Amino acid sequence: MALISLLTDDAAIPPRWLHVVAAMVWVGAAFALARLDLAMRPRDADPRPQSLLLHAGGGFRFCRAEEADAAERALNFK
Q: What is the pLDDT of residues 49-60, one digit of tens each?
A: 777 777 777 777
pLDDT single digits (tens) 10-31: 899 999 999 999 999 999 988 8
Closest CA to 50 of 65, 63, 69, 36: 63
pTM exceeds 0.75: no
- Ordered by start, the domain boundaries in the chain are 2-63
Q: How confident is the model at residue 78 (pLDDT cuts 50, 70, 90)?
A: low
Q: At what angle do helices 2-11 and 13-38 cross, to 10 degrees?
A: 20
Q: What is the pLDDT of residue 27?
A: 93
